Amino acid sequence: MNKYCNSITRFSRRATRQVRVGNHIIGGSEPVVVQTMTNTPTMDTAASAAQIEAIARKGGRIVRLTTRDEREAANLGPIGEAVRVNYPDVALVADVHFVPAVAAVAATTADKVRINPGNYNDRGGRFEELIELCRKRGVALRIGVNHGSLAKKVFDIWGDTPEGMAASAMEFLERCRELDFHNVVVSLKSSNVRVMVYAYRLLVRAMREANMDYPVHLGVTEAGNLLEGRIKSAVGIGALLADGIGDTIRVSLTEAPENEIPAARMLVEHFENRPEEEFEEVDESAFGAYEYRARPWGRVPVLWSEVQHQEEYEVVEAVSHHPVQEWRSKLVGKEFSKPVVLYRRYTTADKELFAIEAAADFGVMFIDSLADGIRIENPNFSQEEIDEIALIILQAARVRISRTEYIACPSCGRTLYDIESTLAAIRERTEHLVGLKIGVMGCIVNGPGEMADADYGYVGGLPDHISLYRGKSLVERNVPQAEAIDRLVELIKADGRWVEPTTKGSK
Ligand code: SF4
């Protein structure tokens, strides 16, 4: 069995086991659960509790907090007590990145503990200890692999590839199974949407082959904010939800955490309650699910508004409730004499929802290299607005780079500056540049690893100080924050990658 889903032309949800997180169930036939993460200091009980209440008011019930040390892990106890006065069903998740001893404390205070297997690469029994602690209190575990922080031994064999990410997760799922511990969820996040989608498909295929049914948690890291952050997440998460993969999701945005909840709900609801539909089956061996294939015409995908000679394109419309399956049925393994433009009409009047729907429908088609152009119609929006959404979808799928990409972390208790206003200021100065990737990261501990393939990095160092990176190399350490954006611009200029903005602002 060499497949990650039952059929690429017929939707069905992946069968998973149920995992209990506090009063909530992830997996089985439960609806996809949305979750988010605080960005308050975890030692600030009142601020963290207030933020969790704001999240709960928007409908979020599973909330993660960063726990850098044992004190922070212990403080999930008082935070939980404070929150549960008004919201008794909120479940707290401890986010542990580095130190196994912190996870051990978190297992006594949290409903779920997220660990990065990159930090449990020994066989010294620390993982087994953690499992026993989780078992004792009924705590769930998330094996959370991040593209930017694979264990050295995995990296040495696989590099930072989707295969490496899936292999890293499988090793730890096997260890859980050996220990007869099954309250486990797994995630493989990346800021590169293509890497993320291929990695999850490889993982799900490997789990199927190993007869494992652990639920998966989906997310794109460092997606940014505004329309771009929502579209980037919707392309990545939507690509998997479209095939019935995903039991819980987080849309990470560089905004207030409670904003993530409605965006995530829109995405989940886009796939919920669709009537069953069947499409003509295709030869699935002609479908490349795990790596990008070039299109025969080798062109940058077009927007329909740019096309001069419409007869030079084959327009393929999806009209059903399952556009991805419908398009695949019409395209996979078929020969076309002209480039293919995908077409779909929408009526949604809310811009955020429209962008999320279009991103979830179209993005995966470009990740899977099945199309050469995009035609979206919606009478509620101008052509300019529609084109902006289409360009962000193509950029998220990495097939057409038309603007500066910001790989910004959502911030958390480690963040050393106001990342949302800083991202806005950096965006204002650099948005007119084409094809640059700029990482804007809250902390030096995880930031440099997580900003993946950014060309430049703006990373929190000491309080009120920023470290600047070119690629993965540190260029300037601890620049005062007031000067840091100017210095970033100078760095881009020195590299010959700067152009002056035109008065209108070109994109
Ligand atoms: S990069 Fe640092 S500050 Fe940003 S979310 Fe990750 S851990 Fe938190």
Give the total number of structural domains in the chain.
3
Q: Which domain holds residue 425?
A: 405-494
351 and 383: one domain?
A: yes
Residues 251 and 315 in one domain: no
For residue 215 and ligand 1, the question of a CB distance below 6 A is answered with no
Q: Whose CA is nearest to atom 6 of ligand 1?
A: 446
CA 23 to each of CA 87, 89, 139: distance values in angstroms, whole numbers, following the listed order: 12, 6, 11
Question: DSSP string spanning 128-150?
Answer: HHHHHHHHHHT-EEEEEEEGGG-
The answer to whether residues 70 and 42 touch, using CB atoms and an 8 Å cutoff, is no
- Return the CATH number at 464: 3.30.413.10
Q: What global pTM score does this model have?
A: 0.91
129 Cα–ligand 1 center, Å = 27
pLDDT (0 to 100) of residue 75:
98
176 domain residue, yes or no: yes
pLDDT exceeds 90 at position 507 = no
Looking at the fold, whether 94 and 205 belong to one and the same domain comes out as yes
- Considering the domain architecture, whether residues 322 and 465 belong to the same structural domain is answered as no
Could you tell me if 137 and 108 are in contact, meaning their C-beta atoms sit under 8 angstroms apart? yes
Residue 122: predicted pLDDT? 65
Ligand 1 contacts CB of residue 344 (under 6 A): no
Query: 367 or 156: whose pLDDT is higher?
Result: 367
How remote is the CA of residue 241 from the centroid of ligand 1, in Å? Answer: 26
Instruction: pLDDT band for 284, please (50, 70, 90 cuts).
Output: very high
Question: Are residues 348 and 323 located together in one domain of the fold?
Answer: yes
Name the closest-CA residue to atom 7, ligand 1: 446
Residue 41 Cα to ligand 1 midpoint, Å, equals 12
Average pLDDT over residues 302-324: 97
Ligand 1, atom 2, residue with closest C-alpha: 443
Contacts of residue 276, Cβ cutoff 8 Å, sequence gap at least 6: 11
Q: Pick the residue whose CA is nearest to atom 8 on ligand 1.
A: 412
Cα(259) to centroid(ligand 1), Å: 18
pLDDT digits (tens, 9 = 90+) for 418-470: 888 999 999 999 999 988 999 999 988 888 888 878 999 999 988 889 999 99
pLDDT at 270: 98
Averaged pLDDT score across all residues of the chain:
93
CA of 432 to the centre of ligand 1 (A): 26
Residue 79: CATH number of its domain? 3.20.20.20
Q: Encoding tokens for residue 120?
A: 């449990």
Residues 222 and 123 in one domain: yes
Longest Cα–Cα distance in the chain = 67
Q: How confident is the model over 83-102, as pLDDT tens digits?
A: 999 999 999 999 997 788 99
User: Confidence band (pLDDT; 50, 70, 90) for 223?
Assistant: confident
Instruction: Write the burial class of residue 75 (CB in 10 Å: 0-12 exposed, 13-18 middle, 19+ buried).
Output: buried
- Both tokens of 387, joined, read 């084109």
- Per-residue pLDDT for 394 more than 90? yes
* Cβ atoms 119, 92 nearer than 8 A: no
pLDDT at 120: 79
| Residue from 36, 37, 252, 409 whose mutation best tests the ligand 1 pocket (most atoms within 8 A of CB) | 409
Output 409 or 5, whichever has higher pLDDT: 5
Same domain, 308 and 441: no
Instruction: Give tens-digit pLDDT for 246-255.
Output: 999 999 999 9
Distances from the Cα of 376 to the Cα of 214, 389, 391, angstroms:
36, 9, 11
**Does any ligand 1 atom lie closer than 6 A to the CB of residue 222?**
no
Q: Do 432 and 462 fall into the same domain?
A: yes
Assess if residue 110 is contained within a domain.
Answer: yes
H or E stretch covering 389 = helix 383-396
The verdict on residue 44 lying in a domain is yes
Q: Which value, to the nearest 10 degrees, does the dihedral of the CA atoms of residues 489, 491, 495, 498 take?
A: 0
For ligand 1, what atom is nearest to the CA of residue 412?
8
Query: Does the pLDDT at position 190 exceed 70?
Result: yes
Asked if residue 171 belongs to a domain, the reply is yes
Q: Which of the listed residues 341, 374, 396 is the one where a domain comes to its end?
A: 396
Residue 162 lies inside a defined structural domain of this protein: yes
Q: What is the model's pLDDT at position 504?
A: 45
Given ligand 1 and candidates 102, 260, 415, which is best to mutate, with the most ligand atoms within 8 Å of its CB?
Answer: 415
| 95 touches ligand 1 (CB under 6 Å) | no
327 and 194 co-located in one domain:
no
Q: Residue 127 C-alpha to ligand 1 middle, in angstroms?
A: 24
Tell me the per-residue pLDDT of 357-384, one tens digit each, with 9 for 90 and over: 999 999 999 999 999 999 999 999 999 9
Q: Kindly state whether residues 327 and 423 are assigned to the same domain.
A: no
Q: Is 148 in the pocket of ligand 1 (CB under 6 A)?
A: no
* Ligand 1 center–CA 447 separation, angstroms: 6
Residue 47, in any domain of the structure: yes
> Which atom from ligand 1 is nearest to the alpha carbon of 445?
2
Which of these, 107, 95, 116, 124, lies nearest to 36 by C-alpha position?
95
Same domain, 195 and 297: no
**Cα–Cα distance for residue pair 143/477, rounded to 1 Å:** 33
Q: Which of 338, 371, 396 is the last residue of a domain?
A: 396
Beta strands in 318-414 (DSSP E): 340-345, 373-377, 405-408
Query: Does pLDDT of 299 surpass 70?
Result: yes
* One domain for residues 454 and 379: no
* Probe residue for ligand 1, chosen from 39, 40, 66 as the CB with the greatest number of ligand atoms within 8 Å: 66
Cα 381 from Cα 210, distance rounded (Å)? 47
Q: For residue range 330-361, what is the model confidence (pLDDT) as tens digits?
A: 999 999 999 999 999 999 999 999 999 999 99
Q: Which ligand 1 atom sits nearest the alpha carbon of residue 410?
A: 5
Task: Give the Cβ contact number of residue 25 at 10 Å.
Answer: 16
Nearest CA to ligand 1 atom 5: 411
Checking if the pLDDT of 506 tops 60, the result is: no
Beta bridge mates, 465 = 480
Helices (H), 298-342: 323-331
- The reply to whether 257 falls in a domain is yes
Residue 9 counted as domain residue: no
Identify the domain boundary among 340, 365, 396: 396
Q: What percent of the chain has pLDDT over 90?
A: 81
What pLDDT score does 159 carry?
A: 84
- What are the backbone angles phi and psi of residue 156, rounded to the nearest 5°? -65, -30
